[in-house]
Amino acid sequence: MSTTTVKPTGTPGGKPAPSELQRARLPRWAPYVIAVGSLAVGSGIGLAADLSSRLQWGLISAILFVGVSYFLAASVEGTRQAKDRLATSLVWVMFLLAVVPLASLIFETVQRGTKVFDGYFLSHSMGVVADDEPGGGIYHAIIGTLEQVGLACLIAVPIGLLTAIYLVEYGRGKLAKAVTFFVDVMTGIPSIVAGLFVLSFWILILGFDFSGWAGAMALSILMMPVVVRSTEEMLKLVPNELREASLALGVPKWRTILKVVLPTAIGGITTGVMLAVARIAGETAPVLLLVWTNPFINTDPFNGPQGSLPLYIYQQYASGTNAGYDRAWAAALALIAFIMILNLVARGIARWKAPKTGR
Please give the residue ranges that form the binding site for other proteins (CB under 8 A). Answer: 172, 239, 241-252, 255-256, 259-260, 263-264, 353, 355-359
What size, in residues, is the chain? 359
Q: Are 242 and 260 contacting, i.e. CB atoms less than 8 angstroms apart?
A: yes
Region of residue 171 (left: phi > 0; alpha: psi -120 to 50; beta: else): beta
Q: Compute the distance between CA of residue 69 and CA of residue 63 in angstroms, rounded to an integer.
A: 10
Beta-carbon contacts of 340 under 8 Å, excluding residues fewer than 6 positions away, are none
Minimum distance from CB of 246 to other proteins (Å)?
Answer: 7
**Closest to other proteins by CB, 53 or 357:** 357
Q: Are 193 and 285 contacting, i.e. CB atoms less than 8 angstroms apart?
A: no
Minimum distance from CB of 43 to other proteins (Å)?
Answer: 53
Minimum distance from CB of 353 to other proteins (Å)?
Answer: 8
Q: Compute the distance between CA of residue 169 and CA of residue 163 in angstroms, rounded to an integer.
A: 10
Does residue 259 sit in helix, strand or coil?
helix
Minimum distance from CB of 183 to other proteins (Å)?
Answer: 21
**Closest to other proteins by CB, 131 or 169:** 169
**Closest to other proteins by CB, 85 or 243:** 243
**Closest to other proteins by CB, 40 or 242:** 242
Minimum distance from CB of 356 to other proteins (Å)?
Answer: 4
**Closest to other proteins by CB, 84 or 244:** 244
List C-alpha distances in Å: 45 to 34, 61, 70, 220.
Answer: 16, 9, 21, 52
Minimum distance from CB of 248 to other proteins (Å)?
Answer: 4
**Closest to other proteins by CB, 41 or 251:** 251
**Closest to other proteins by CB, 146 or 179:** 179
Q: Compute the distance between CA of residue 61 and CA of residue 227 in angstroms, rounded to an integer.
A: 42
Q: Compute the distance between CA of residue 189 and CA of residue 222 in angstroms, rounded to an integer.
A: 7
Q: Compute the distance between CA of residue 262 and CA of residue 241 in angstroms, rounded to an integer.
A: 14
Does residue 331 sit in helix, strand or coil?
helix
Q: Are 227 and 321 contacting, i.e. CB atoms less than 8 angstroms apart?
A: no
Minimum distance from CB of 213 to other proteins (Å)?
Answer: 36
